[in-house]
């Protein structure tokens, strides 16, 4: 059985992952209509990944004697100034998610909940990867600046890198 405190933290995390999925879906829509097809594919796939993160937590809660709560979500932002702004908000968002996962692990250590701690380790490595990826995309977008032909090529590259990642 999960302690009340750990259960609450995991339930909150379900909501955060669901909301990440919605956020990336909204970004994907923006990219799609702006003609950034590669970025749109990347973001649609990222949205699916977040749903998978959520589902893993949902199943963990259900298997550990609790019942996952599926909550109402706030509508995500739908307008962005640039592709760089999209990835900057992704990074900002992921840094907060990492913080929240760290908090869960700290609570698990305090309460000697080794099982949940072990389960959450997967999320920590995932966060490291996601933060790194967002940082490297922002760096590239910074280099590209207002060079539209480089931006066009980079957008295509984003779409292909996503396909490779999912093979």
Q: Can you tell me which of 7, 41, 94, 155 binds ligand FEO, judged by CB under 6 A?
A: 94
> Within its chain, how far is the Cα of 67 from the centroid?
23
- The nearer residue to ligand FEO, 7 or 94, going by C-beta atoms, is 94
Is residue 97 near ligand FEO by the rule CB under 6 A? yes
Q: How many of the chain's residues bind ligand FEO (CB under 6 A)?
A: 7
HSE at residue 132, side-chain half, CA atoms within 13 A, is 6
How many CB atoms sit inside 10 A of residue 61's CB? 20
* Interatomic CA distance for residues 156 and 38, integer angstroms: 5
Closest CA to 133 of 49, 55, 71, 70: 49
Q: Can you tell me which of 130, 137, 141, 155 binds ligand FEO, judged by CB under 6 A?
A: 130
Q: Can you tell me which of 20, 23, 26, 116 binds ligand FEO, judged by CB under 6 A?
A: 20
> Which residues of this chain interact with ligand FEO, rule CB under 6 A?
17, 20, 50, 53, 94, 97, 130
């Amino acid at each position: 059985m999960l302690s009340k405190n750990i259960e609450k933290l995991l339930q909150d995390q379900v909501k955060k992952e669901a909301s990440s999925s919605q956020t990336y879906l909204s970004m994907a829509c923006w990219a799609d209509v702006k003609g950034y097809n590669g970025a749109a594919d990347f973001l649609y796939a990222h949205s699916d990944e977040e749903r998978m993160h959520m589902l893993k937590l949902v199943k963990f809660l259900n298997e550990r004697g609790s019942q996952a709560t599926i909550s109402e979500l706030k509508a995500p932002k739908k307008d962005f100034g640039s592709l760089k702004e999209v990835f900057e908000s992704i990074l900002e968002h992921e840094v907060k998610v990492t913080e929240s996962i760290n908090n869960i692990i700290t609570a698990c250590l305090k309460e000697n909940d080794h099982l949940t701690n072990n389960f959450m380790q997967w999320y920590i490595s995932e966060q490291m990867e996601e933060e790194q990826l967002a940082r490297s995309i922002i760096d590239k977008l910074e280099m590209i600046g207002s060079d539209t032909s480089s931006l066009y090529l980079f957008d295509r590259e984003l779409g292909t890198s996503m396909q490779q990642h999912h093979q």
